[in-house]
Amino acid sequence: MKKILRLLTLIFLLVSTLITINLTSALTINSVLIEPNEISQGDLVYIEIDLKNNGEEDVNNVDINLELQDLPFAPFESSSGYGIAEIKSKKTKSAKFKLITLNNAKSQVYKIPIKLTYFEEDSSQIITKTSLISLEVLSKPVIGVNVEENLLLKGKNNELSIKVINKGLGDVKFLEVESVNSINFDFISSKKVYIGDLDSDDFDTVSFKIFLKEDISDKINFPIKIKYSDSLNKEYSENLNLLINVYTKEKARKLGLIEKNYYIETVLLAITLILAFIFYRIWKTSKRNRTMSNI
């Protein structure tokens, strides 16, 4: 008798579990289609969510909502909610959404919560489920490079400063600036400068110490290579030629870029004044002696 009761209890628990599983998993997200896979600011995103009724009963008044609060996405020509009147047992229906990516979206993976509610046939109980889908935003970093206004002289050691600006919306990592050998100059310092992280709308300055050769033109190229990664660890590389102005010391003086050195002129003037004073004293002494001799 005890064995029969134990067996009936196990059967009851098994049936209860199956009923519970059936109730809690009747309507599920079968698949999600997102186009395009990679999106940027201002892009439209098409999302199609397939809902499958795995239960034995039909479901009614199905509502699926995308929770977009505090996320850089907005409904476009549609709403963030989609309604389906009925999904029959073992059947699949789709909910479709169109979103636009806002201009403040940074490069990262965004998780969008989904809220799903429905009624099972012959039931007044609302069943609610939540899930997540992911959207990946890729914003290519925009790096700007400006040459600082350094005075660069031919035949001299110089320091060339370059400002590197992150003009994009996404932060960059592992930023590195490297130059290469040139027939126009020799490196005194390292040819490679590591910056590291550079936030959006921020800048940093790197400097190279170079010796400019005497027989070069007044405008030369300074080639550099910039390497960095975005916040999703996608790597980028750019080769740039920066046009820089170089001067002889004489031309720089003529243009007023450096002050003229008046040391020699000052020394000559001082010597002239000293000699004039000495001649004046000699002349005055000689005149006094002549006057005394006449008396």
Which amino acid does the sequence have at 36?
Answer: P
Peptide bond into 75 cis (omega under 30): no
Question: Nearest-CA neighbor of 222 among 139, 127, 150, 271?
Answer: 150
Integer-rounded Cα radius of gyration of the chain: 41
Per-residue pLDDT 10s for the chain (295 aa) are 544 444 434 444 334 433 343 444 588 899 999 999 888 888 999 999 999 999 888 889 999 999 999 999 999 988 899 999 999 989 999 999 999 999 888 888 999 999 999 988 766 788 899 999 999 888 788 899 999 878 889 899 999 999 999 998 888 999 999 998 889 999 999 999 999 999 988 999 999 999 999 989 999 999 999 999 988 888 999 999 999 999 988 888 887 776 655 556 677 777 887 887 787 778 777 766 666 666 6
Which amino acid does the sequence have at 157?
Answer: N
- Output 213-219 pairs: Cβ under 8 A, ≥24 positions apart: 213/154, 213/155, 213/183, 213/184, 213/185, 213/186, 214/154, 214/155, 216/154, 216/184, 216/185, 216/246, 217/246, 218/245, 218/246, 218/247, 218/251, 219/243, 219/244, 219/245, 219/246
Question: Nearest-CA neighbor of 204 among 192, 214, 196?
Answer: 196
